[in-house]
């Protein structure tokens, strides 16, 4: 049975770093919205579309790609913000449609830590403009209990996160 591990949290929360680590440790394919999907598919967005319509357009494509990967029997880690519950619900529905186990990993990183990381990475990583950062903060809907997210703090230890994700997959 394939597995879909979905990363969730604000920019600079540490999603991509943890997703890469989980991908290597679990030997599961990694699909990144920022690196693999948006650069390719944002070019196909109809001219004049709003930012929200552009996001929805690319997310629809992302869900189709994720579905195709799961349908092939391959497991996947999906690295994205997934700020809205509705986006996470749609992603969970894709996993369910392809009989895949689904685990949501939420990086619960305080804003003070995010601000420190933004400042430290300002020369080495694409900057997120302040207005976009504030918008993302306003859009964040932390996971509800029903989403059964694995909460990860900035001081996580990889073996502990692996154990918690594995426990969620085995139902324990």
Q: What residue ranges do the domains of the chain occupy?
A: 3-170
pLDDT computed for residue 127 by the predictor: 72
- What value does the mean pLDDT of the chain take? 92
For domain 3-170, the CATH class is alpha beta
pLDDT computed for residue 119 by the predictor: 86
**Is residue 172 scored above 80 in pLDDT?**
no
Percentage of the residues of the chain whose pLDDT score is greater than 90: 77
pLDDT-derived band of residue 139, with 50, 70 and 90 as boundaries? Answer: very high
| pLDDT (mean) for 19-45 | 93
| pLDDT (mean) for 127-150 | 91
pLDDT computed for residue 132 by the predictor: 87
The pTM of this model reads 0.92
Contacts of 91 (CB under 8 A, 6+ apart): 4, 6, 63, 66, 78, 82, 102
pLDDT-derived band of residue 110, with 50, 70 and 90 as boundaries? Answer: very high
């Amino acid at each position: 049975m394939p597995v879909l591990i979905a990363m969730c949290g604000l920019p600079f929360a540490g999603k991509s770093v943890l997703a890469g680590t989980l991908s290597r440790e679990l030997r599961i394919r990694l699909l990144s919205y920022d690196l693999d999907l948006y650069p390719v598919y944002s070019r196909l967005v109809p001219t004049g579309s709003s930012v929200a319509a552009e996001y929805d357009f690319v997310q629809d494509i992302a869900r189709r790609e994720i579905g195709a990967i799961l349908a092939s029997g391959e497991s996947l880690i999906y690295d994205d913000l997934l700020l809205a519950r509705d986006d996470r619900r749609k992603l969970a529905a894709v996993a369910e449609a392809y009989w895949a186990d689904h685990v949501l990993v939420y990086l619960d990183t305080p804003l003070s830590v995010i601000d420190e990381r933004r400042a430290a990475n300002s020369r080495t990583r694409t900057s997120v403009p302040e207005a976009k950062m504030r918008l993302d903060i306003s859009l964040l809907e932390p996971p509800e209990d029903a989403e059964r997210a694995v909460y990860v703090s900035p001081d996580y230890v990889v073996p502990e996160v692996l154990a918690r994700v594995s426990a969620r997959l085995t139902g324990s």
